[in-house]
Amino acid sequence: MERYKSRFQLTDKQWINCKLSEVITHVQEIQAITFIYNHLKQQNQNALKNKKEADTKIVIQRILGLLRDGKTIKQIVAITRESLFFVQLIKTIYDKEYFGENLNINDLKKHKGVSDFTRKFLKQRQKIKGAGNKSAKLVEMRVNFKVGYVSFIFLSEPTNTFNTKVTIPPSMKLKSDNLYTQTIRFVNFFQLLKTKPGFKTYKDITINEIKDAIKTDDIKVFCDCPSFYWMGMDYNMSQLDAAIYPTDISPKYWDNYHGSGNQLLCKHLSLLFNSIDFYVPIMTGMIYKYLQNK
């Protein structure tokens, strides 16, 4: 993630009424949930006393999502019914220098997290198979309600041949197949929905609230193409706690081609994330139908 230091010094009154997009030009690239929580612990804020760690992160995650949607801090206070202490918290965040942690779907759009080495093959694939919304097909939603996550499964054809191999987790042994599978998992999805003020039942959750959670929630990913695991993308995503099947096998050889830590996504996942706005309404509808039948 990009290192960032705010150049803006605003008064509390200005912060309460401003839209963050008016001040920070690349807010969607910044994920600060872990930083915020650590800051809270260090400051021993009263807001932590009655909240579990996970619940606190979820509330902050929702606030960041509302900021990215253009809501002012004053509006967010009314929506979330949280104390004005969060106003000072958000102000503090952008007055400090930090590395963002955790990823959401917007962090990986526009082919971010792709090395120059992979970019060449990505362009070749796009020319042959088309954009992500043409080369990948959403085929399934898998819900683990107990753990709290929702996974979406996509299938993609190989670029040039149907005689290929895939990695099978958890052993990652190679097996012949004619399709690659990509998985995007929304990690805290049901907890995030429960932050709705006055939440009573999931059937009351609206389409827009589901869409907001999709855009805000932390994600984890996997592609079973051999490149994702064996070239180090899975390792680098593991360092960001964004790998469905984390690994501690560092890509020393492939770093010579990709650059150390530069490679997060294979060409299949990168094309998929570049077209993610096409899939968001479809994923939203699938989740909404599931919740109505819950």
Are 76 and 190 within one domain? no
Are 71 and 121 within one domain? no
Most confident of 65-74, 83-92, 275-284: 275-284
Are 210 and 288 within one domain? yes
Number of domains in the chain: 2
Q: In 98-208, where do the E strands start and end?
A: 136-144, 149-156, 164-168, 173-177, 180-186
**pTM of the full predicted structure?**
0.70
User: Does residue 207 sit within a domain?
Assistant: yes
Q: What is the pLDDT of residues 95-117, one digit of tens each?
A: 543 334 568 898 888 777 788 88
Are 150 and 183 within one domain? yes
Residue 91 amino acid letter: K
Distant-in-sequence, close-in-space partners of 120: CB < 8 Å, separation ≥ 6: none
Are 18 and 161 within one domain? no
Confidence of residue 176 (pLDDT cuts 50, 70, 90): very high
User: Does residue 230 sit within a domain?
Assistant: yes
From 62, 94, 126, the end of a domain falls on 94
CA distance 1 to 4: 9
Helices 53-68, 33-43: axis angle to 10 degrees equals: 130
Answer for the pair 99, 3: CB distance below 8 angstroms, yes or no: yes
User: Does residue 7 sit within a domain?
Assistant: no
